[in-house]
Amino acid sequence: MILETTQQALQALFAGSVPADGAEAATPRGNGVLTRDYKIHGYHLDAQVAADQLLAAVTILDQAGFFIESITGVDWIKENQMEVIYDFSRYDFDTCRVVIRTRVPRDQPIVPTISTIYAGANWHERETHDFFGIKFAGHPHLVPLLLPEDADFHPLLKDFKA
């Protein structure tokens, strides 16, 4: 039930673009909402949004009562892109896991912070900044969390040399 309503709400962000069907994503995939086979992938909805649609997408999930599971990044060095992945889930028995992802240019990785919506995003964003150097615009305290306080390196970048 919640799956359909969330899918519709997220789909509304992409008015005008081609609605994605349940098929596996083509590479490279465009922005849009896909349903995924839970048995294989472990989540139900997979939405790729533009960085400026992020707050709108997260607000939809917040209003629908989702809790924040985690935030992380992926360095796609070949495509010269950086991906930020947000995981959301629910406390009730209407199981629905939603993944929001956004891609930004690798040399200018800036996405807006969602810690204004989910306070718990604060540490996850700091951690993602530690590991990838992704900047979260508007974050209240974007200093190293897990790395040493004077760290100026980002160990999960694919071109990182220890």
82 is an interface residue for another protein by CB under 8 A? no
Q: How far is the CB of 18 from another protein (least distance, A)?
A: 22
Closest among 129, 113, 100 to 14, alpha carbons compared:
100
119-138: contacts with another protein (CB under 8 A): 119-120, 122-123, 131
Of the ranges 11-19, 49-57, 81-89, 105-113, which one interacts with another protein (CB under 8 A)? 81-89
H-only helix segments in the chain: 2-11, 38-41, 54-63, 121-132
Structure tokens belonging to residue 30? 């465009």
Interatomic CA distance for residues 24 and 34, integer angstroms? 8
Residue 147 touching another protein (CB under 8 A): yes
| Count of CA atoms in the C-beta half-sphere (13 A) of 54 | 25
Interface with another protein includes 68 (CB under 8 A)?
yes
Restricting to residues 12-51, name those near another protein by CB under 8 A. 39-43, 46
Of 11, 35, 53, 70, the residue at the interface with another protein (CB under 8 A) is 70
Rounded to a whole number of angstroms, the minimum distance from the CB of residue 27 to another protein is 8
The residues with which 85 forms a beta bridge, in sequence order, are 72, 101
Inter-residue contact 129 to 136 (CB < 8 Å): yes
Q: What are phi and psi of 62, to 5 degrees?
A: -60, -45
Q: Which residues make up the interface to another protein (CB under 8 A)?
A: 39-43, 46, 65-70, 72, 74-75, 85, 87, 89-93, 95, 97, 99, 118-120, 122-123, 131, 144-148, 155-156
